[in-house]
């Protein structure tokens, strides 16, 4: 019973407490406290019968339910004595069936409720569905633990009136999971891997080709992670990545999931993005990339989303498929205020052989970059063009 | 997204209210100002948007490397420095608009006669440490 296995029990145990009559917010708090207790007191990751004994508990889930319920009852009693009223909660839980998978699915919808801000939905999802502790989430997002705790309790207050039993729109959940995925590493938690795990679980609970599409997209991106940065942590662009370091197992899985989703003929943005990622994954070398087909997928994606960012990426793909001039022409349809506009323009000018102009644009793009790795990468691009190796 | 709210002793655009330096204010005015700042931080704590706050002494020294085996060279402090940072607050918010709103609120801290000082604050976005996954 390692911490990861413990975390997997969390949504089901919250569900059990809610089925026994606890409100979601109190149930979630009680389970979080029990998890923290477990992490502190199970030195080998397994619960023991007593503090002195080393015999592991056979039923960690039963232990977690019992410990959480006890905490819930204690908290309720404390609350009621504060208010000077009689305790109305039974110390022994009422019996009843516990439809675990349904509860877990509902937790996804509740934690991604549209009334929550993206940051709150992410935090609540990581705690209640992912089973992470507040401290881990705070470390991953580089904010104080107290701030993260407040963010989570506010989120819970905001959805306090929402029924636990209502389903929602999978698209809201997908947005939250994709945000988590894009955080990558942080603190001691690998958020990208956690997002993959949560999306895998969500896909198993739902029957929606877009959920499969996002899972495929994540797997195909995750497969390239080792190749995306070099030994010194510098960004390596797709065309220069060592494709031998791509995880072929993840790619095969992603492609298979994507093909099954596409076969259902209900295309959505995540499937289209995954299709583009799959075409990159398919190419043995960067030169063998099927750019015309990638442009077609960008056309689909643009039709589905109308997103200016997609239009920008499409222009770069057009530059690969039909030459830099065509790419630059496509870029003329793009809003120049987009964060990566200058970077795309620089790249296409370099491809067109205009190195002086490209270097200036890379420098401009570096100033507009929103992340340190990107800024450093763009700065090096400018430096490379301004100081060509003899 | 994280933003730095930078408070300057000097520098930035011309003040719109002449609130003088805080050591000329009455004790009650100073207290009210300090209370406003700490209430503001506490409020951000409770909204889950607070990251960090730090006040800096106005006394600073410039330091630089002076070659192998030599002690660093120091210079200053300079009374006439144009720009002097007084402290900062780091916030983690949903949008640029929210950051503007909070900066505006902090700038309304009371000064002499309990009137808002309309202090100029500098708002700077953090660069993320993570590159986007998309290629």
Would residue A37 count as lying in a domain? Answer: yes
Q: Kindly tell me the burial class for residue B14, based on how many C-beta atoms sit within 10 Å of its own C-beta (0-12, 13-18, 19 or more).
A: exposed
Residues 6+ apart with CB under 8 A from A9: A60, A61, A64, A131
Question: Tokens 């569900």 — which residue?
Answer: A15
Domains of chain B as residue ranges with CATH? 2-125 (3.30.70.1060)
Check CB contact of B57 with chain A, cutoff 8 Å. no
Whose CA is closest to A9, among A92, A128, A122?
A128
What Å distances lie between residue B84 and A27, A91, A342, A385, B56, CA to CA?
50, 61, 33, 38, 10
Would residue A305 count as lying in a domain? Answer: no
Its domain, for residue A153, covers: 99-199
Per-residue pLDDT, A98? 54
DSSP state of A235: B
Residue of A nearest to B91 (CA): A143
A139 shares its domain with A51: no
Domain boundary among A166, A199, A232: A199
pLDDT tens for A212-242 read 999 999 999 999 999 998 888 888 999 999 9
Let me know how long chain B is. Answer: 135
In chain B, residues with a C-beta closer than 8 Å to the C-beta of A272 are none
Would residue A187 count as lying in a domain? Answer: yes
A76 shares its domain with A108: no
Domain boundary among A199, A216, A236: A199
Would residue A134 count as lying in a domain? Answer: yes
Chain A nearest CA to B104, separation (Å): 21
Provide the Cα torsion A210, A339, B99, A148; round to 10°: 40
Domain boundary among A199, A226, A248: A199
pLDDT tens for A364-377 read 999 999 889 899 99
Would residue A127 count as lying in a domain? Answer: yes
> Residues of chain B with pLDDT > 70: what percent?
93
Per-residue pLDDT, A52? 47
Which range scores top for mean pLDDT: A77-91, A119-133, A150-164, B18-32?
A119-133
What's the pLDDT band for A1 if we cut at 50, 70, 90?
Answer: low
pLDDT: which is higher, A175 or B130? A175
Q: Between chain A and chain B, how many beta carbons pairs sit less than 8 Å apart?
A: 74
In chain B, residues with a C-beta closer than 8 Å to the C-beta of A246 are none
A154 shares its domain with A85: no
In three-state form (DSSP H/G/I as H, E/B as E, the rest C), the secondary structure along A342-385 is HHHHHHHHHHCCCHHHHHHHHHHHHHHCCEHHHHHHHHHHHHHH
Q: Distance from first CA to last CA of chain B, Å, rounded?
A: 21
A78 shares its domain with A2: yes
Q: How many domains does chain A have?
A: 3
Would residue A216 count as lying in a domain? Answer: no
Would residue A311 count as lying in a domain? Answer: no
Residue B13: count of CB within 10 angstroms of its CB: 7
3-class SS at A113?
Answer: coil
A179 shares its domain with A107: yes
Q: B130, A142: Cβ pair inside 8 Å?
A: no
């Amino acid at each position: 019973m390692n911490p990861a296995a413990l975390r997997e029990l969390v949504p089901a145990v919250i569900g059990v407490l809610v089925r026994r009559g606890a409100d979601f917010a109190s149930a979630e708090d009680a389970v979080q406290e029990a998890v923290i207790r477990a992490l502190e007191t199970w030195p080998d990751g397994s619960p023991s019968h007593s503090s002195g004994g080393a015999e592991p508990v056979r039923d960690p889930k039963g232990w977690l339910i019992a410990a959480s319920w006890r905490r819930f009852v204690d908290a309720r009693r404390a609350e009621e004595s504060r208010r000077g009223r009689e305790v109305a909660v039974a110390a022994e839980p009422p019996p009843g069936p516990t439809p675990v998978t349904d509860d877990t699915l509902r937790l996804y919808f509740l934690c991604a409720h549209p009334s929550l801000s993206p940051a709150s939905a992410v935090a609540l999802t990581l705690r209640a569905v992912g089973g992470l502790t507040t401290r881990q989430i705070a470390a991953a997002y580089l904010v104080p633990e107290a701030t993260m705790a407040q963010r989570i309790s506010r989120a819970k207050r905001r959805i306090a009136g929402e029924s636990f039993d209502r389903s929602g729109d999978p698209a809201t959940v997908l947005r939250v999971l994709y945000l988590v995925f894009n955080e990558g590493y942080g603190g001691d938690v690998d958020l990208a891997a956690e997002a993959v795990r949560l999306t895998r679980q969500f896909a198993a609970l739902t029957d929606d080709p877009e959920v499969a599409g996002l899972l495929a997209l994540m797997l195909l991106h995750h497969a390239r992670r080792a190749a995306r940065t070099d030994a010194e942590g510098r960004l390596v662009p797709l065309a220069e990545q060592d494709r031998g370091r791509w995880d072929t197992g993840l790619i095969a899985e992603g492609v298979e999931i994507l093909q099954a989703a596409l076969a259902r003929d209900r295309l959505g943005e995540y499937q289209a993005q995954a299709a583009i990622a799959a075409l990159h994954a398919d190419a043995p070398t960067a030169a063998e990339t099927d750019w015309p087909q990638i442009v077609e997928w960008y056309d689909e994606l643009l039709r589905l989303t109308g997103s200016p960012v997609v239009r920008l990426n499409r222009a770069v793909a057009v530059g690969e498929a039909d030459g830099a001039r065509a790419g630059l022409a496509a870029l003329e349809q793009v809003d120049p205020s987009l964060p990566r506009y200058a970077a795309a323009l620089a790249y296409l000018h370099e491809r067109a052989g205009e190195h002086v102009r490209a270097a200036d644009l890379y420098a401009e793009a570096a100033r507009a970059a929103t992340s340190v790795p990107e800024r450093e990468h763009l700065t090096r691009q400018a430096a490379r063009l301004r100081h060509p190796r003899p | 997204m994280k933003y730095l709210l930078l408070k300057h002793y000097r520098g930035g655009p011309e003040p719109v209210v002449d609130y003088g330096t805080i050591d000329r204010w009455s004790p009650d005015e100073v207290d009210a100002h300090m209370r406003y700042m700490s209430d503001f931080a506490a409020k951000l704590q409770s909204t889950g948007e607070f990251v960090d706050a730090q006040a800096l002494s106005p006394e600073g020294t410039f330091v630089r490397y002076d070659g192998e085996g030599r002690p660093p060279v120091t210079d200053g402090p300079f009374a006439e420095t144009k720009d002097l940072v007084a402290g900062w607050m780091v916030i983690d918010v949903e949008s640029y608009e929210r950051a503007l709103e909070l900066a505006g609120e902090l700038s309304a801290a009371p000064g002499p006669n309990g009137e808002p000082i309309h202090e100029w604050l500098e708002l700077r976005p953090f660069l993320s440490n993570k590159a986007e996954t998309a290629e």
